[in-house]
Structure 1
Amino acid sequence: MTVPRNWRKSSYSGDGDGDNCVEVAPTPTHTAVRDSKAPARATLTFPTPAFTSFLEALKAHPRH
């Protein structure tokens, strides 16, 4: 798998507690997820179609 270098945080991170968030980095075939407070620690990696389905499910059932 390609090592991701394009990590990004959610726009909801904001100031203050913005570090209490996850970061994602897409590669051509997978999406990596890591804890923004501990970026050097382990990451979770998902096949892109599975991660896309996960995001679509979250968007379909928003929690306010």
Structure 2
Amino acid sequence: MNDFHKSSYSHSSGECVEVAEGPTTLVRDTKHRDGVVLAVPASEWRALLADLDSL
């Protein structure tokens, strides 16, 4: 089982995503936990976060 936690990039407006980090980062919508899960290689996830931090 993956350990999902609320992303620090989520806002308090209720529009949240949860992530489970590991060799593959999993991302899901908190409102649809049984729905689609996006799977991204960890290196690509880190690159995305670095790009977001630079905005």
TM-score by length of 2: 0.83
The number of residue pairs the alignment matches comes to 54
Match of residue 48 from structure 1: 42
Q: Helix, strand or coil for the counterpart of 2:31?
A: coil
Residues in 2 aligned to 1:42 and 1:54: alpha-carbon distance in whole angstroms: 20
Q: Computing the radius of gyration over CA atoms, which structure comes out larger, 1 or 2?
A: 1
Deviation at 1:10, TM superposition (A): 3.0
SS of structure 2 residue aligned to 1:37: helix
In the TM superposition, structure 1's runs of 4+ consecutive aligned residues that sit over 2 Å from their partners are 10-14
- TM-score normalised to the size of structure 1? 0.72
CA distance in structure 1 between the aligned counterparts of 2:7 and 2:25, rounded to whole angstroms = 14
Aligned to 2:21: 26
Q: Identity across aligned pairs (percent)?
A: 33
Structure 2 runs not aligned, ≥5 long: none
The Cα RMSD (Å) is 1.5
Q: Is 1:35 aligned with 2:29?
A: yes
Unaligned runs of 5+ in 1: none
